[in-house]
Amino acid sequence: MYLCTTVAALRCYLRLWQIEQRPIEPEVGLVPTMGALHSGHLALIERARQQNDFVIVSIFVNPLQFGPTEDFQKYPRQIEQDRQLCQKAGVDLIFAPTAIELGLVTATESATTAVFPPQSMTSVLCGRSRIGHFQGVATIVTKLLNLIQPTRAYFGQKDAQQLAIIRRVVADLNIPVEIVSFPTVRESSGLAKSSRNQYLTAEEKEQASVLYRSLRQAELAFQGGERSSARLIAVTKLELATVQAIEPEYIELVDPTTLMPLQQIEEVGLLALAARLGTTRLIDNIILRNRQPIVAIDGPAGAGKSTVARQVAQALKLLYLDTGAMYRAVTWLVLESGISIEDEPAIAEIVSKCDIELGMGDEPQAPIRVWINGQEVTQAIRSLEITSHVSAIAAQTPVRQELVKQQQRWGEKGGIVIEGRDIGTHVFPDAELKIFLTASVQERARRRQQDLKNRGEADLSLEQMQQNLSERDWKDSNRNIAPLRKAPDAIEIQTDGLSIAEVTDRIITLYREKVEGQSSTLAN
């Protein structure tokens, strides 16, 4: 692991490393921090490691985001301990510049030190008392994104306003990066992990746990059907008031994307609060979402994912989000429009404007119905011509990015079963149930051969089939686009010797236990 403190060293290191990787274009994950790393930061780093080839952690206590009366001087700085934690966590590079190095202060003249996100986002919640804070954050994050040009940058849901503002800045300034959020990591008491918790005494830590308890009370009310903002806020306030030492600064319910206040929750709301405890200012929040569960099934080729996913969806009355059908629909549109399948920019253009609809078939076994731009293509996308072109189209980055975006839009409502290679790690890392289906190469080769025989197609020898699958596994795990990855919280099911029905039953039982909270005896 390298530790760079200058921009020159960072640039040099990145350039040399990228040259070494050619012709592969490696994916880089950036985790921006102010140091004093704790398990919240480490969780972000772990997610970044799962999704990228190279992970950079920046450590910079950003003077622009501290007000004159805030704790800039006393903010914990412990670079040696951070370095050891990063090393253990498998970070590839730490970037820890000084303010001068980052060009925030120059000897002779002032620098460009403000990116101004929309005032409607910076003047609410924490922005009311922390004047200039979010401009400071936006400026420094923009600088880091420009310097490092990562594929993805990771931010904690704990700082929900920061996350919403960064997403907005990245969209408004067309910065080519994917912003990935990560749920808040908490102590067992519920207290959100924070570098500022170091300021708290043991007693204060205990008192501070009321923040999350009060949010949980609102969540319970929400789960019981309460949707009114005023009443959810009142529930939170009531619980917060049980600890006298806590002085609430604000409790607000807003839209998590725009940060506009909500009167009531339709689909989703961000319930956020800030409070003082002695001289320490603490924040916390939860997302209240009217969402059905998501089941993500990943695994290598030939593990039976699509058949199982379809049957699980049917049994649980969820929608099988057939991503293959989406790629087929786009392929149909490309061929129909007369665009060459090599013309990536033209394909990117039509894909970014297309509208795909999926619906359940009329009969239980019928394929998913598919419409693209209002035209039904359920049958048309199963033609041989589409089959022979779909991989080439699906391998194009803009196609994949657009379709993942569409899949995630579906995910906002939930109620879906979806299968692939990186659904649990990338497309829906917050899925309620993640399954990783595997089978030995021998078993998968045997199944493939049986399938081909059933369809009356020319078959390969078992050895040849095994070799093909091993090669495919290697490629799928190492490809640039959507590589095969198992989420750490996925449940692995080894399917050797199990029938499709047995695998499906196992997943349904897990769903009943984990998602619906029923015991396995009830499920059976």
Are 210 and 242 a contacting pair, CB within 8 Å? yes
What does the per-residue mask of binding to ligand AMP show for 98-137, with x meaning CB under 6 A? ----------------------------------------
Are 380 and 332 a contacting pair, CB within 8 Å? yes
Taking the least distance from each CB to ligand AMP, the nearer of 37 and 333 is 37
State how far the Cα of 359 lies from the Cα of 371, in Å rounded to an integer: 9
Q: Which of 52, 151, 194, 207 binds ligand AMP (CB under 6 A)?
A: 194
Half-sphere exposure of 97 (CA within 13 A, CB side): 22
Instruction: Report, in Å, the least distance between residue 342 CB and ligand AMP.
Output: 40
Among 41, 133, 389, 426, the one annotated catalytic = 41
Q: Which of 60, 75, 182, 436 binds ligand AMP (CB under 6 A)?
A: 182
Dmax of the chain from CA atoms?
A: 79
Q: Interacting stretch for ligand AMP, rule CB under 6 A, among 100-108, 193-201, 276-284, 369-377? A: 193-201
Instruction: Report, in Å, the least distance between residue 244 CB and ligand AMP.
Output: 25
- Verify binding: residue 40, ligand AMP, rule CB under 6 A: yes
Q: Which of 10, 91, 192, 272 binds ligand AMP (CB under 6 A)?
A: 192
Question: Tokens for 398?
Answer: 């803009």
**Phi, psi of 375, rounded to the nearest 5 degrees:** -100, 130
The residues near 201 (Cβ < 8 Å, ≥ 6 apart) are: none
Q: What count of other Cβ atoms lies within 10 Å of the Cβ of residue 379?
A: 10
The residues near 293 (Cβ < 8 Å, ≥ 6 apart) are: 318, 414, 415, 431, 432, 433, 511, 515
Q: Which of 83, 143, 193, 421 binds ligand AMP (CB under 6 A)?
A: 193
Partners of 179 in beta bridges: 153
Instruction: Report, in Å, the least distance between residue 158 CB and ligand AMP.
Output: 4
41 included as an active-site residue: yes
Residue 196 labeled ligand binder: yes
Peptide bond into 23 cis (omega under 30): yes
**Phi, psi of 376, rounded to the nearest 5 degrees:** -75, 130
Q: Interacting stretch for ligand AMP, rule CB under 6 A, among 179-187, 211-219, 228-236, 312-320? A: 179-187
Taking the least distance from each CB to ligand AMP, the nearer of 33 and 217 is 33
The helix or strand, by DSSP H or E, that contains position 401, with its residue range, turns out to be helix 397-413
Residue 407 labeled ligand binder: no
Taking the least distance from each CB to ligand AMP, the nearer of 41 and 328 is 41
Taking the least distance from each CB to ligand AMP, the nearer of 185 and 277 is 185
State how far the Cα of 484 lies from the Cα of 438, in Å rounded to an integer: 12
- Verify binding: residue 30, ligand AMP, rule CB under 6 A: no
Taking 3-state DSSP, the helix, strand and coil percentages for the chain, each rounded to the nearest 5, stand at 45, 20, 35
Taking the least distance from each CB to ligand AMP, the nearer of 134 and 436 is 134
Q: Which of 58, 139, 195, 285 binds ligand AMP (CB under 6 A)?
A: 195
Ranges within 148-167 binding ligand AMP (CB under 6 A): 155-156, 158-159
Q: Interacting stretch for ligand AMP, rule CB under 6 A, among 192-200, 269-277, 347-355, 472-480? A: 192-200
State how far the Cα of 524 lies from the Cα of 517, in Å rounded to an integer: 14
Would you call 494 helix, strand, or coil by DSSP?
strand
State how far the Cα of 53 lies from the Cα of 152, in Å rounded to an integer: 11
**Phi, psi of 329, rounded to the nearest 5 degrees:** -65, -40
Q: Interacting stretch for ligand AMP, rule CB under 6 A, among 12-20, 33-41, 221-229, 476-484? A: 33-41
Instruction: Report, in Å, the least distance between residue 223 CB and ligand AMP.
Output: 22
Partners of 433 in beta bridges: 295
State how far the Cα of 316 lies from the Cα of 161, in Å rounded to an integer: 36
Q: Which of 58, 135, 151, 184 binds ligand AMP (CB under 6 A)?
A: 184
- Verify binding: residue 274, ligand AMP, rule CB under 6 A: no
Task: Map tokens 């008491």 to a residue.
Answer: 189
Instruction: Report, in Å, the least distance between residue 77 CB and ligand AMP.
Output: 11
Q: Interacting stretch for ligand AMP, rule CB under 6 A, among 5-13, 186-194, 344-352, 422-430? A: 186-194
Residue 361 labeled ligand binder: no
- Of 184, 148, 180, 183, nearest to 166 (Cα)? 180
CA distances from residue 409 to 68, 115, 226, 322, 414 in whole angstroms, order as listed: 41, 29, 25, 14, 9
Q: How many residues comprise the chain?
A: 524
- Verify binding: residue 328, ligand AMP, rule CB under 6 A: no
Residue 185 labeled ligand binder: yes
Instruction: Report, in Å, the least distance between residue 42 CB and ligand AMP.
Output: 9
* Cα radius of gyration rounded to whole Å, the chain: 25
Site for ligand AMP (CB under 6 A): how many residues? 17
Helix spans in 224-269 (H): 229-240
CA distances from residue 154 to 232, 297, 421, 429, 436 in whole angstroms, order as listed: 30, 24, 21, 13, 24
- Verify binding: residue 41, ligand AMP, rule CB under 6 A: yes
Residue numbering of the annotated binding site for beta-alanine: 65
> What does the binding site for ligand AMP look like in residue numbers (CB under 6 A)?
33-34, 40-41, 43-44, 155-156, 158-159, 182, 184-185, 192-195
Binding site feature residues for (R)-pantoate: 65, 162
Which residues define the annotated binding site for ATP? 34-41, 156-159, 185, 193-196
Known binding residues are 34-41, 65, 156-159, 162, 185, 193-196
User: Which of the residues are catalytic?
Assistant: 41
